[in-house]
Amino acid sequence: MLRRVAVLMMAAAVSGCRGQESKAPPVHFIPDMDWQPKYEEQGQSAFFDDGRAMRLPPEGTIAVGSLQADDGLSTGKVDGNWLQKVPDSVVDGAGGIQKLLAKGQARYNIYCTPCHAQTGAGNGLVWQHGYPVQPSNLASDHTRAMTDGELYDAVKNGVRNMPAYGHQIPESDRWAIVSWVRVLQRSQHAQSADVPPGQSIEPQEESK
């Protein structure tokens, strides 16, 4: 009998709580690490003399995965001279030129299309919606004359009103984007001599 009364009382208590609002915080039976002491980004700290919670790496140290052992790969320059073409190690590391171009197209569509458009003409959505300075035409004579190292540097560090993407786009992906830009340039300045033998289509004469 007592067991039945206890069950009925519990059911009444639970049913009475449903649908009612409360300003009290919910009961958290397993807090885990939800309320651990920690610093937020850009927060202040009374522990350090400069008052900053975010700390700089110790001088002379390099984070794991951030070692730039090859200046050409990381800067686009060797001995102060721009690299003329994408390093072979980038192509090999991507698994071949076709895979490198596929990655370059995907990354270009993500990061570059909003300004430069899919064709590279510089009339992307940013320009169409009123941006005051039209982005560069990537197929222009000026851009085509740039070395691959210069294009890589533009992606990494930005140029004029174009922001830097070095903190967003990994090193290998920057080179992949450069490779795809070359594809866009070639597609808009192709000549009949660029077509492999046996794959050209001769224009047909109109029947009279």
Give the three-class secondary structure for 34: coil
Q: Which residues pair with 159 in a beta bridge?
A: 162
In a domain, 175, yes or no: yes
In a domain, 109, yes or no: yes
State how many domains the chain has.
Answer: 1
Q: Give start and end residues of each alpha helix (H) in 59-124.
A: 71-75, 88-94, 97-111, 113-116
In a domain, 122, yes or no: yes
In a domain, 44, yes or no: no
In a domain, 19, yes or no: no
In a domain, 17, yes or no: no
Q: CATH number, domain at 102?
A: 1.10.760.10
In a domain, 20, yes or no: no
Q: What is the chain's pLDDT, residue by residue, as a tens digit (208 residues)?
A: 777 766 666 665 655 555 667 788 777 777 777 777 788 888 898 888 889 998 888 888 887 877 777 778 888 889 889 999 999 899 998 889 999 999 999 999 999 999 999 999 888 998 899 888 888 999 999 999 999 999 999 999 998 888 899 989 999 999 999 999 999 998 888 777 777 777 766 666 665 5
Say if pTM beats, i.e. exceeds, 0.85: no
Q: Which of 116, 102, 111, 121 is nearest to 180 (CA)?
A: 102
Question: Which residue range is the domain that position 115 belongs to?
Answer: 71-190
| Measured distance CA(37)–CA(112) in Å, rounded | 41
What is the chain's Cα-based Rg?
A: 30
